[in-house]
Amino acid sequence: QRFRKNFDAPQFRHIKVPETYPELTTDKVMVMEFCPGIKITDREKIIEAGMDPVELATKSAESFLEQLCRHGFFHCDPHPGNVACEKGPNGEARIIFYDFGMMDSFGAVERKGLVDLFFAIYYDADVKGAINALERLGMLRTGPDIDRVAVEKVGKNFIDRFQETLKKDGEWEDQLSPEERKRINRQRRKELGEEFLSLNADSPFIFPPTWTFVFRAFFSLDGIGKTLDPKYDLTKITLPYLKELLDLKDGNAFKTTLLRIGKRVGLRPIDINQFVTQPRRTAQVEDIARRLENGDFKLRVRAMEVERMMERSKLVQKNIFNAVLSFAFLNTGILLSSVGRSSLSSTILPTTWTLRLVFGAALFIGTKVPLGMRDIQKLDNYNKRYGLKK
């Protein structure tokens, strides 16, 4: 009923949700309206019925974006078995949703964060805005252990490539040949090797369960869209749809428009505030510089190269320790076997069991040495993938 009410408006007449009958529904049986339709991926029957599959692909994507950005209540499982279509009374293609057993929702903060993320990536190319939006969505951890500079640098590279592809109407990376993708990955690792290693070490990104359902639904819709339209591109469908979400970014479309104009000419509230508070900020910077000169502050610098060297040194030292310990047990065993049974006290352990124990310890610890060498080689190869030397 909630899902049906969200689409109960004239602009959504192309969305059909089966009606429920509470008076006929029990704890075990739900009675719903019978809504037959054509399977959403049956392109031939859709064309035979006089409907446009390209239009249906676009409408299905827009309906899901509407659920996410405006309603905050969405269908988690829109696979082809749960989505059908029919020709409406006015001849317009209409999408039918079934099976509402897997639904999820999020609040206004998450919806605002999602809209801000879309605008930061699509329109503003603002990496800091995108990262702030990810933090509000709960997808990016915060704290002193997160290298935000590395996140911003990798994010800027992604947004720049994304914007370049949009402007040139070019091919996305998954549409390129395997050789071209390998070449791009090698170049990216060479440019951002330090940042990738920092991200891999910090693991700043997390995916709450709700967003797992969101991505799953996007994958299902992407598969439906590409079945209906070989040229389907969910990314490019999202771009014009965002114009309809201007009112969600800052409360209303007029305010958003004014803020965007103000950003271009430098007359936003934040710009005016910076102009007014600039003398105070300058004095604060001067005070910090003076205290640094006096030794009141201590700078903490993260050197990724030192961290890599320390990590490798730990592995090498551990390997050396295992090798020395293994040889120590081996020498002890050889010494005990050469001394003979007469020198051992029979009240402690039999000579045979003593030797077995010592040689067994030497063998067990010795097997860790080649494993440790393998770990060192894996670390060296891992760093080499990102264009970094030992």
Catalytic residue annotation: 77
42: phi then psi, degrees, rounded to nearest 5:
-85, 80
Phi-psi sector, 39: left (phi>0), alpha (psi -120 to 50), beta: beta
Neighbours of 232 (CB within 10 A): 21
- The Cα–Cα gap between 40 and 51 comes to 11
Pairing mode, strands 93-97 and 15-16? parallel
Distance CA 94, CA 156 (A): 40
| Virtual torsion, Cα 10, 15, 21, 27, nearest 10 deg | -140
Give the 3-state secondary structure of 154-214: HHHHHHHHHHHHHHHCCCCHHHCCHHHHHHHHHHHHHHHHHHHHHHHHHCCECCCHHHHHH
For residue 372 the two structure tokens come to: 């440790």
Q: Give dist(CA 120, CA 131) in Å, integer.
A: 9
| Cβ contact 57:71 at 8 Å | no
The residue written with tokens 């000419």 in the block is 265
Antiparallel, parallel or unpaired: β 83-87 and 38-39: antiparallel
User: Cα–Cα distance between 121 and 160 in angstroms, integer?
Assistant: 9
User: Can you read off the two tokens belonging to residue 193?
Assistant: 């090797």
Angle at 157 between CA 156 and CA 162, to 5 degrees: 95
- The structure tokens 């797992």 sit at 212
- Amino acid identity of residue 10, one-letter, is P
Cα-to-chain-centroid distance, residue 21: 41
Distance in angstroms (rounded) separating the CA atoms of residues 146 and 149: 9
